[in-house]
Structure 1
Amino acid sequence: MWLLLPFVILPIVEIALFIQVGGAIGVFATIGLVILSAVLGVAVMRRQGAMAMLDVQRSVQEFRDPSAPLAHGALIMLAGVLMVLPGLFTSSVGVLLLIPAVRGLVMRWMGRRVRVVGAGYKPRSADSDYVSDYPSGFGRGRNARDGVIDGEYSVQDDPPAPVREGLTDERPDMGPGKNKSGWTRH
């Protein structure tokens, strides 16, 4: 029910804003604002998205936590998407998300609501079993058994000497054009 609410309320808010702004500045100017917002949104996604990825790469290269640049990049991309969507309210929220201080507020607000359930790293010691170092159920599929990997194999005889040495598909017992695989030496 709560998921359906934005899909009902958002169009009503957008229509009301179109009517109010269209009455104040005119229909064509309102349509021009929506088109300008979409063009700017695409430009933001292209430019700022690439710069955000560079920030993430730089933080990884400098051995810093990449979560803040990653979150900023995600919010910038969300701002671009909101600006591309046709509407004045969504475009306004998108423009607000382009302001670094507003992104910081949103990240702090979201950070208070996020709870990490469990994460960790336990180095492997010489006397421990590698698979059992992880928490119960972690990384264990239904076929994981103490590092054993099931597989099948078959032994095949080596091909005749000309095929193996000359890298050609022609064998002495085959006439020209008969049963060729298509592999040839170039």
Structure 2
Amino acid sequence: MRTTEMWVFALILAWPLLEIGLFVVVGGWIGLWATLAWVVLSAMLGIGLIRWQGMGALREVRGGGGIAALQPMAHSALIMLSGMLLILPGFFTDFLGLLLLVPPVRTGLIAVLAARVQLHGVVRRRGEADWVDAEYEEVVPDRDKIGGTTRPSKWGED
């Protein structure tokens, strides 16, 4: 295995061990019922964040947005990730989820990720036509052929 794969494997193994350790330690400090209440309340907060941001992201996409909407959409995506982390039971995931709710943290993370990502694609300007000039050829599958001839389609018949 390469070094990067080893680190990822180590993190995957360490994450649940860290969560279990934190449950034992924090649960010992605050007690069983407070620990259970924390888990349930953080999950409810996570579900609420996902619903709220999910609807906001849909409104943003429907609005057209374009390149100008990338920053707000990135914030929405990170808030939704925060909600998913809050749904997972555990104090470390809750810490990460709450950390992603802090706007300067999200802005910094977006800046770091934006420096590593290159966008490729076609940007359509408002007012451009939504048509494609193309040629086509009908391809009839063998299952629709009887004795080497093509059966007429019954799709348009009522």
TM-score normalised by the chain length of structure 2: 0.70
Pick from 54, 58, 69 the counterpart of residue 53 of structure 1: 58
- Mapped partners of 1:9, 1:54: distance in 2: 38
Q: Which residue of 2 is the match for residue 34 of structure 1?
A: 39
TM-score normalised by the chain length of structure 1: 0.60
- Mapped partners of 2:57, 2:139: distance in 1: 46
Structure 2 unaligned residues grouped into runs of 5+: 124-131, 141-149
Residue 101 of structure 1 and its aligned partner are, at CA, apart by 1.6
Q: Deviations over 1:29-59 (max 9, x none)?
A: 112111111111101111122123323444x
Q: Comparing both chains, which one has the higher relative contact order based on Cα–Cα distances under 8 Å and sequence gaps of 6 or more?
A: 2
Q: Which residue of 1 is the match for residue 147 of structure 2?
A: none
- The verdict on how the C-alpha distance between 1:119 and 1:45 changes in structure 2, with shifts beyond 3 A counting, is closer
After TM superposition, the structure 1 stretch with the greater mean CA deviation from structure 2, 73-82 or 47-56, is 47-56
- The verdict on how the C-alpha distance between 1:150 and 1:106 changes in structure 2, with shifts beyond 3 A counting, is same
- The verdict on how the C-alpha distance between 1:120 and 1:26 changes in structure 2, with shifts beyond 3 A counting, is same
Q: Is the Cα–Cα contact under 8 Å of residues 49 and 76 in structure 1 kept in the other structure? A: no
- Mapped partners of 2:105, 2:78: distance in 1: 10
- Mapped partners of 1:78, 1:105: distance in 2: 15
- Mapped partners of 1:56, 1:8: distance in 2: 37
Pick from 49, 55, 72 the counterpart of residue 75 of structure 2: 72
1:43-122 to 2 correspondence within 5 Å?
Answer: 43-58=48-63, 60=64, 65-116=68-119, 118-119=120-121
- Secondary structure of 1:65's match? helix
- Mapped partners of 1:120, 1:86: distance in 2: 41
Structure 1 unaligned residues grouped into runs of 5+: 122-129, 132-146, 157-180
Pick the structure with greater CA Rg. 1
Q: Deviations over 1:7-26 (max 9, x none)?
A: 20111111111111111111
Q: Which residue of 2 is the match for residue 149 of structure 1?
A: 136
Residue 152 of structure 1 and its aligned partner are, at CA, apart by 4.9
- Mapped partners of 1:100, 1:52: distance in 2: 17
- Secondary structure of 2:75's match? helix
